[in-house]
Amino acid sequence: MSTPNPNPNPYGQPAGQWQQYQQPYQPPYEQPKKNQRPLIIAIVVALIAVIAVFAGLFAFIGGGDGGKVAKPKDVDKAFSHEMLRSCDLGDDFYSAAGWKDMTLQEDEDCEAFYETEEGDIRVELQVRAADNMSHGKPAPDGIVGWRQIVNTDGYENKCSMVSETPELEVVELWAPGPCELLHSMAIQLNNLVAQYRGEESDLAYMDPAPQKLSVASEMYATVADKAEPLGKTQAFESPDVLGSELTIKDVTLTPGDGDKYEVCFEGNLNTGEMKRKYQDFRAPRISLVAPQSPALNLIDPHPSKVEEKADLPFNGCETVGIPYRDADLLIVSSSWHSGGYYLDKAWAFNMKDATD
């Protein structure tokens, strides 16, 4: 007879005890160390970028290239006896102030174009004795040493600016519009003087910051909103006739000297029916209107005898000054009312489309 096993635990341990499972020893988990070199390179690149940005900012505030706004050789040629005597300063000098396509005239004056919302308008830098330095009022803050004179000719404003800075005392800026067209160039000329004087200058560089302005007169804006394209027939309003109609078919511009253009138009006029028999027919006055200028007469007809409801050719030519090269212009008819002419109908066209 076999002896009973005193330990019924099948796992061979004392009763009531379990054998603890012993895992093999493993070292504590540690993340693998990453290569720190890419991070260091990234930080260095970022620092270099920040330094470059600040360097560019200081260069911009200082006028770039050590405060130079024109090539030194151009500056040396332009100044004589410590005064600016030539406006031949290079395209970059002018483009920074918003002046483009500068041309040097025989008398050392310069003409260029300044972009406005209505088109490129002519501006001038004249290097001659300025005789109106005591007139006008000081330019806005920041435009050091400059005075501006506004001349009103009819409905048209013209501006000239002169400087009290000794190096610029023979310089005059001119524009056929508001003085804001000239402010960026006045600042740029101050920058030029600062470059010419060098370290001894009391003029600090300023950004010319040219702005695209609107120079349209109230009259132009009002009439342009109602203008029709060329070829459109419109009713001619007059207290003397009924049913008269006018058509402006075509306009051509032929450039002359400076801002002069010969303006020719072709049209057709139907006389309509006279309200009173045996009276003379008063045809409409035809004018040209540019964005900033008053109406420029092309035809100022006299009353004449005509047949009723007759279709008559209505053409004319006149030479006028137009200080633009690509603006939308208006041909405007004016009718006679109560002893005077009043703007009536308008036709719009672009200068580039009409220029020979």
More reliable by pLDDT, 17 or 284: 284
Kindly state the average pLDDT of the residues 206-227: 93
Q: Any idea which of 42-46, 66-70, 218-222, 333-337 has the lowest mean pLDDT?
A: 42-46
- The helix (run of H) or strand (run of E) holding residue 191 is helix 180-197
- pLDDT of 132: 60
- pLDDT of 238: 80
* Domain-wise residue ranges, the chain: 72-200, 218-354
CATH number of 218-354: 2.60.40
Kindly state the average pLDDT of the residues 210-227: 93
- pLDDT of 37: 59
Give the three-class secondary structure for 217.
Answer: coil
Query: Mind listing the pLDDT tens digit for each residue in 223-281?
Result: 999 999 999 999 987 878 889 999 999 999 999 998 999 999 999 999 999 887 767 88
Cβ atoms of 253 and 262 closer than 8 Å: yes
Q: Shortest CA distance to 176 belongs to which of 94, 92, 252, 258?
A: 258
pLDDT band per the 50, 70, 90 thresholds, residue 35: low
Query: Mind listing the pLDDT tens digit for each residue in 120-172?
Result: 999 999 998 666 666 789 999 989 999 999 887 655 678 999 999 999 999 99
Give the length of the chain: 356
Transcribe 37-49 into DSSP letters. HHHHHHHHHHHHH
Percent of the chain surpassing pLDDT 70: 78
pTM above 0.75, yes or no: yes
Distance CA 165, CA 269 (A): 58
Kindly state the average pLDDT of the residues 85-110: 91
Q: Shortest CA distance to 324 belongs to which of 225, 264, 253, 265?
A: 253
Distance CA 130, CA 168 (A): 10
- pLDDT of 56: 41
- pLDDT of 43: 59
Query: Mind listing the pLDDT tens digit for each residue in 48-79?
Result: 544 443 444 333 333 445 568 999 999 999 99
Percent of the chain surpassing pLDDT 90: 58
Distance CA 31, CA 328 (A): 73
Q: Mean pLDDT score of the chain, rounded to an integer?
A: 82
Give the three-class secondary structure for 352.
Answer: helix
How many other C-beta atoms lie within 10 A of the C-beta of residue 235? 14
Cβ atoms of 283 and 335 closer than 8 Å: no
Single-letter amino acid, residue 291: P
